Amino acid sequence: MRLTQLMPLSISLIALSLASLALTEAQAADVAATSKIDAVTVYPSGAEIARTTKLKLEPGEHAVLLNDLPAGALPQSIRVEGKAVGGQLQIGSVDSRRVSVPRADSVAVASQRRDLETQIEKLRDQKLVLQADIQAAEAQKAMITALTQLPTRPIMSGASAPEPDWSKLLALVAEKTAAAQRAILDTTVKVRDTDRQIEDLGKKLATLAPAPDARTEVKVFVNAAATTDAELIVRYQVASAGWTPFYDARLATGAKGQTAKLQLIRRASIQQRSGESWDDIALTLSTTRPAAATSAPELQMLSVDYQPERPPMPAPMVAAPAPMAAGAMRSKAASMEERADLKDEVAKVATEVAATTDTQSFQALYGIPGKVSVPATGEQKRVQIGSEDLDPSLVVRTVPRLDPLAYLYAKLTLAKTSGPILPGSVSLFRDGTFAGQGHIPQLAAGEDHELGFGADDLVKVKRVVQEDKKGESGVFTATRAEERNYTITVRNLRANTIAVQVLDRIPVSMQQDIKVDATFKPQPTKKDFNDRRGTVAWDLTLAPDQESQIAFGYKVSAPAGKPMQYRELTPQQIMQNNQLRY
């Protein structure tokens, strides 16, 4: 027995051989084929589709026609691969164009149109019958009315007739006239209802007007050396699809003597409006951004010249920020420090199936398990990508000048083997209780990031103004001086030791003749914290029930004849002021 030969082939629209593999397209026989979506790779913006068709080819040249690609398929992205069993298969060239094809549901639509047309025809026939009934009732009414004219008509000569019973005759006329009038009114109402039904059915019929679908037709020219069972795979990209990451961060602060744990769950929301439904496909999510820029921007020449004369631009006044409402971000959860350890649950908790991760040099691929269906309506399809268990370091950060509360942060470090984190929203849970929403920026493997988990009620902070005085000194050269001193007290009521970071600020002089002298006890751990001039930070480590105090202040001196003002400058305003100096 001779073993069949399996020959994988791959060809690109961009690089096609025009030599010996070229086919005589005019002589190729058209072979209509249908394809099915097998796999989809979704990018943050866009997606790549893989369609497969299987067909039997006789020896010779053929043009395989596929017209089931969506109209939104990007022509430059179309690629064709092939497999052949039983003989050699050569792929010559690939053509693509936009075409109009009958809708896939054209047979069902035609049946619905016929049913509606039949209903409308029956209603019109009923309307004709009702109109005939109205005419008959009108004739009957006219005949009854004629009876009322009998007393005024003379009796023919030579004839004699008994005197009619006028009371009975008038009663009969009244009765029959009323019956005829009722019949006319009832039938008129039925005609109006019939007209409304005909109008409604006509509107439905108009919506079922045959409208062809726009599609992309792909023509693949192949040459089979012998009778071959061929499989062609057509790959193409669409723009109207993408996925958005979002996350769950579940922090366990740990009871007495226990370390904190953080579980970071990665999820994805997939949407697509490509014009075709993805049914039972193998779904892969990629972090690559093929629609983004592929090269760095170019720098232009920077010149320096004298600034043209113009009036100075006053810096915008910024109102001092109002203090935040106490407890505005306070967690709804009670402290877990005093909770007893939970007993093992009897019921098993359902687990979510995570994706398989393939981390490459510049991207990560997440293979979603099983078969997935994503409709073309833009509805969100949510899947879980994976979960990581991290050992975070906890720190409590407070800015008592603006807010008397202390806020808990968890610093996490992504593993070196972890895939990149794309920017997205994160749902924050602290000790099993929802603490609020946050945001994660784009992070690479091994990179650090802090997540805030709301107010920590077990760290108490108090800031007190100890001194606030103003005055002038000197006889010949008067100097104006302002002096302020503060104390900040921090107390740890937790069962575990906690790191606390206290932030405050001192003024920054914008003029040479304005002097600022600051005093600190103890000295700040960091000055110009996060590259913000004047911001100082103290890093403390507090044991359970330990209290620490910070004392600091500053003295501002300036010529008495020049009034001073204090302004809060945002980074954008600082940048604008620096640009004015250049």
pLDDT-derived band at 339 (thresholds 50, 70, 90) equals very low
Least confident of 54-68, 99-113, 235-249, 426-440: 99-113
Q: What's the pLDDT score for residue 180?
A: 81
Question: pLDDT per residue over 161-192, tens digit each?
Answer: 566 666 776 777 777 788 888 888 888 889 99
Q: What's the pLDDT score for residue 581?
A: 47
Tell whether the model's pLDDT for residue 325 goes beyond 70: no
Q: What's the 3-state SS for 72-108?
A: CCCHHHCEEEEEEECCCEEEEEEEEEEEEECCCCHHH
Query: How far is 449 from 294, CA to CA, in rounded Å?
Result: 27
Q: What's the pLDDT score for residue 173?
A: 74
Tell whether the model's pLDDT for residue 271 goes beyond 80: yes
Instruction: Quote the radius of gyration of the chain (alpha carbons, Å).
Output: 42
Residues 6+ apart with CB under 8 A from 370: 353
What distance lies between CA 260 and its chain's CA centroid? Answer: 32
Q: What's the pLDDT score for residue 153?
A: 55
Least confident of 191-205, 284-298, 333-347, 374-388: 333-347
Residues 6+ apart with CB under 8 A from 237: 46, 47, 48, 49, 73, 74, 77, 290
Q: What's the pLDDT score for residue 18?
A: 37
Indicate yes or no: pTM above 0.85.
Answer: no
Q: What's the pLDDT score for residue 149?
A: 65
Q: What's the pLDDT score for residue 166?
A: 65
Question: pLDDT per residue over 464-495, tens digit each?
Answer: 999 998 876 655 557 888 999 999 999 999 99
CB 553 within 8 A of CB 486: yes
Q: What's the pLDDT score for residue 266?
A: 93
Least confident of 53-62, 80-89, 337-346, 501-510: 337-346
Least confident of 6-15, 271-280, 299-308, 353-362: 6-15
CB 353 within 8 A of CB 382: no
pLDDT-derived band at 379 (thresholds 50, 70, 90) equals very high
Tell whether the model's pLDDT for residue 550 goes beyond 80: yes
pLDDT-derived band at 419 (thresholds 50, 70, 90) equals confident
Listed residue (529, 483, 489, 481) closest to 505, CA to CA: 529
Tell whether the model's pLDDT for residue 3 goes beyond 50: no
Q: Angle CA(258)–CA(501)–CA(570) in degrees, nearest 5?
A: 140
Question: Please, what is the average pLDDT of the chain?
Answer: 81
Tell whether the model's pLDDT for residue 565 goes beyond 80: yes
Q: What average pLDDT does the segment 395-413 reach?
A: 95
Query: How far is 404 from 324, CA to CA, in rounded Å?
Result: 8
Tell whether the model's pLDDT for residue 459 goes beyond 90: yes
